[in-house]
Amino acid sequence: MGSWMHFETEDTNAIILAATKSTDYCISLYMAWLNISIIDSVICWFGWKRIPKFYQALRKMIGTRMNMPKDAAHDIYAVASGDVTPSGDKGLQDTDLWSEASFFVMAGGMTVSTLMSAVFFYLTRHPDVYKRLATEIRTTFNLGEAITSGPQLSSCKYLRAVIDETMRVAPPTTATPWREDDVYSATSPKSDGPLVVDGHVIPHRTAVGVSLYSVLHNEAYFPEPFAFRPEQWLDADDDLT
């Protein structure tokens, strides 16, 4: 999370945000329209200036951390790199570290920051939700320093509901949850014909997916899908408190 804050405050890292945004557009487009991926080289050509700058900024971040002592910060590098475990497995090697770091920079940083921004956005526009959440947190913890992972934090059910409702209304990722029709595969004993979805015959072993945003805003599952209602994630007994 700390590294993601540097993206927003240091001009030299601004290219990472811009490149990530552009990449997200391409990935979403390819997933929805696979045939357009044949012009990927053309799309990459338009970003030829950004790509070297992106990798340069990434190399600087990773290189700076690798030049520091392993325990200089409490991060994935400190936990997973270098040491040999009792079973004989080695920690992250240099090549693994680079690939994992580039993944966490984009996937871990953007999703967390997007979720946090959305939580604060909805809390500022729903004072009743903010009041109930603030009351729960302030009656559970005496000091801000006491808010750490554990049974007390897990007992904050309304906090969990606010987070879940935020992820539903404004999901931090719109990646399609792909599924394969294993139940209807040719070798399955349950297969008594083709899989038909909305009048369309789906060939065996075809990956099928529905937009995550569409599922989370479907009235069949969530009445008033565009309303912010954290209480719908609570059990009946919890909602009375």
The string of DSSP letters for 201-221 reads EEPTT-EE---HHHHHT-TTT
For residues 91 and 98, give the distance between their C-alpha atoms in angstroms, rounded to a whole number. Answer: 13
DSSP single-letter state for residue 78: H
For residue 116, pLDDT over 50 is answered with: yes
Residue 28: what residue type?
S
Which of 98-102, 128-132, 219-223 shows the lowest mean pLDDT across its residues? Answer: 98-102
- Taking only the tens place, the pLDDT of each residue in 186-206 is 444 555 667 788 888 888 777
For residue 18, pLDDT over 60 is answered with: yes
For residues 11 and 9, give the distance between their C-alpha atoms in angstroms, rounded to a whole number. Answer: 7
Tokens read off for 147: 């808010």
For residues 216 and 169, give the distance between their C-alpha atoms in angstroms, rounded to a whole number. Answer: 7
Give me the mean pLDDT over the 24-30 stretch. Answer: 68
Highest mean pLDDT (candidates 21-25, 70-74, 186-190): 70-74
Residue 53: per-residue pLDDT: 76
